Amino acid sequence: MTTADLDSVLELEVALFGAEAWSRQMLAGELAQQPDSRYYVVAEDEEGIVAYAGLMTAGGQADVLTIAVATIRWGQGIGSELVAALLAEAARRGCTEIFLEVRADNARAQRLYQRWGFTEIGIRRGYYQPSGTDAIVMRRDLAPADAVARDAVGGAP
């Protein structure tokens, strides 16, 4: 993802997350930290950007910051492709574990992460604002083999 992608990403961000969408300023700030501690990727088709994802790395730990797929593209494996890309990048950067927060009311995303080996380790009450929705915290160990997870698109490595 580059700053040239911001308009399309923001459009998708607002469509998917409404009042809880990240602002242009937040996204631009994240992109400014690439490639040092951030990694952002987009998925495109002939219509433009249909999905994006972001990762933060520090030391041996990685955090999935966001994964978003246009609703018209749900169920087509794009979410799995993005998870694979983030796992591969985290492993490439030498991370040994990866964390994420997922909305407690987003069973679809929870199932995706479970298929990729993430397990629930806690709950952050009222994490998502302004709705006050809880977040489920999930964790997964990473191994050097995850650096090739990108080749396992369509299913867990």
Q: CATH assignment of 3-152?
A: 3.40.630.30
Instruction: Give the mean pLDDT of 14-35.
Output: 94
Going by pLDDT thresholds of 50, 70 and 90, the confidence category of residue 148 is: low
pLDDT tens, position by position, 112-142: 999 999 999 999 999 999 999 999 999 999 9
State residue 98's pLDDT score: 97
Q: Which helix (H) or strand (E) holds 79?
A: helix 78-92
The tokens 């966001």 sit on which residue? 66
pTM over 0.85: yes
Three-state DSSP class for residue 39: strand
pLDDT tens, position by position, 59-100: 899 999 999 999 999 999 999 999 999 999 999 999 999 999
User: Backbone phi, then psi, for 16, in 5-degree steps?
Assistant: -90, -35
Note if the bond before 144 is cis, omega within 30 degrees: no
Residue 147 has pLDDT above 80, yes or no: no
